[in-house]
Structure 1
């Protein structure tokens, strides 16, 4: 009778609090936070250094070596792995990994390289290209002093997608050795400086602009990149300028003839160009490279 009366009057007993064995009210556990299986950047940095040192172990205690440069290749199939490698390799600070980390480790292991040896980094998204040493997603290629460079006379750059002012542009070692790539002839940059482009993707306001052939031009930054001939290394190199970097909301890539992809996204680093390469600007416009 009493329980029925309580129910009619809306007076119900409170739900009992679930208790643990020690009579302490149970507190619901917070949802589990997924933990990445990737190591921290310092641990990955140490792994990379160990890989390079182990690869160069035959050169320990040698008074001289024929190595003129090292190229570290890293396969990063996911954005998380790529970000980890960028932090571990200090890609935002050119030469810091070489000067602050690698030089010291080489000295500690009595591996002597020439004073002007070079170190470059290439992050690739799918698979490692052929290289001298491999370990997991790491690869190391050696540039040797006795390797005779392939003589080159010129590089011809032409548009595959997008409309440029000229059908083709030529870089010759004995002529103009640097060509600036961008949209517009003399665009004003955010800094106020006026840039004079050599490989010019036409603006929509240009009288010669064609909306069909030039539909990809908008993806090209006004200061996107440059191609330079290096007389020391006897080759052509692509550099991303500020407007062609991810920090500016843009991107630059090299598509090799073997279907590998090189992301050109480290400020101040020159990426070697090969005959048959294609340079993608902003994910849409594309230049072809012919080296002879």
Structure 2
């Protein structure tokens, strides 16, 4: 039934139809994960296209930009085949952007990212009733693991537990890597990163702080879904963490993010 989803294995340039099939394949793979009634919580399926000017028309054609309901109907047929019971008012949103947003689901075959926005459940991430666990798998911190509950305020990550900023104010690092415990910990900034709970999307997001962005120490995420690496280059844009993601601090410390309960 889904033969049309097979990937184009030739070296020929993609046409609009082949591109559409690849986009639908990406969507299909994510919708398959919405079992157990999660499909009924879908609020919007958001597509972010970052194609160059020379490819823009092909993406617009593939997504039926002149008749957006036509592409939505194709997505709905996929959902119906999996009996996902999407809500009647779910929306398809397409945006053309210069950079894909953090946390967008992507692959190497199409120049777009996908976000499933849910009303009260975020697929692949967390729910309001789940705790998360951050386990230290590299580096030396005060604890081997940290349990954080949804709704928790800002959770700072950095070197040492209490540090003084340039303005004289003090910062408390909930997840603290001890500066005198391991030589490599000195590469972790005192103000490296932090987690915040997003009340609307019901998920934890990772933000790099002043000491965790270029040109200084780095903050990266090894994405569990495809083992790619996402770099945080701005203190303003958060990355939505999903189960199995690994937070990498200055290439010397690693925290694994998992769902606990």
TM-score range, shorter chain: 0.5 to 0.7
Question: TM-score, normalized by length of structure 1?
Answer: 0.54
Question: Deviation string for 1:179-208 (max 9, x for gaps)?
Answer: 10011122122343321111111121xxxx
- C-alpha separation in 1, matches of 2:199 and 2:222: 24
Q: Does 1:139 align with 2:115?
A: no
Pairwise CA distance, 1:223: 0.4
* Counterpart position of 1:169: 146
Question: CA separation of 1:139/1:69 partners in 2, compared to 1, >3 Å: closer, same or farther?
Answer: closer
Question: CA separation of 1:200/1:121 partners in 2, compared to 1, >3 Å: closer, same or farther?
Answer: closer
The structure that has the greater radius of gyration is 1
In the TM superposition, 1:1-292 aligns within 5 A as 46=53, 53=60, 56-58=63-65, 60=67, 66-67=91-92, 89=99, 120-121=101-102, 129-130=106-107, 134-135=109-110, 138-145=111-118, 148-150=121-123, 151=127, 153-174=130-151, 176-204=152-180, 209=181, 214-247=182-215, 249-257=216-224, 258-292=226-260
Question: Deviation string for 1:42-92 (max 9, x for gaps)?
Answer: xx8646866775565457576x871468697xxxxxxxxxxxxxxx65xxx
Runs of at least 5 residues in structure 2 that lack an aligned partner in the other structure: 1-50, 70-88
Number of aligned residue pairs: 186
* Structure 1 segments (4+ residues) deviating >3 Å: 44-62, 67-72, 128-131, 144-148
Question: TM-score, normalized by length of structure 2?
Answer: 0.59
Please tell me whether the aligned partners of residues 155 and 174 of structure 2 are also in contact (alpha carbons under 8 angstroms).
Answer: yes
- C-alpha separation in 2, matches of 1:178 and 1:52: 39
Pairwise CA distance, 1:291: 1.6
- C-alpha separation in 2, matches of 1:285 and 1:227: 16
Greater shift, 165-174 or 275-284, is seen at 165-174
Pairwise CA distance, 1:142: 3.9
RMSD value, Cα: 3.4
Please tell me whether the aligned partners of residues 228 and 238 of structure 1 are also in contact (alpha carbons under 8 angstroms).
Answer: yes
Q: Secondary structure of the equivalent of 2:186?
A: helix
Pairwise CA distance, 1:158: 2.0
- C-alpha separation in 2, matches of 1:48 and 1:222: 44
Runs of at least 5 residues in structure 1 that lack an aligned partner in the other structure: 1-43, 73-87, 90-118
- C-alpha separation in 1, matches of 2:90 and 2:112: 20
Please tell me whether the aligned partners of residues 171 and 178 of structure 1 are also in contact (alpha carbons under 8 angstroms).
Answer: no
* Counterpart position of 1:106: none
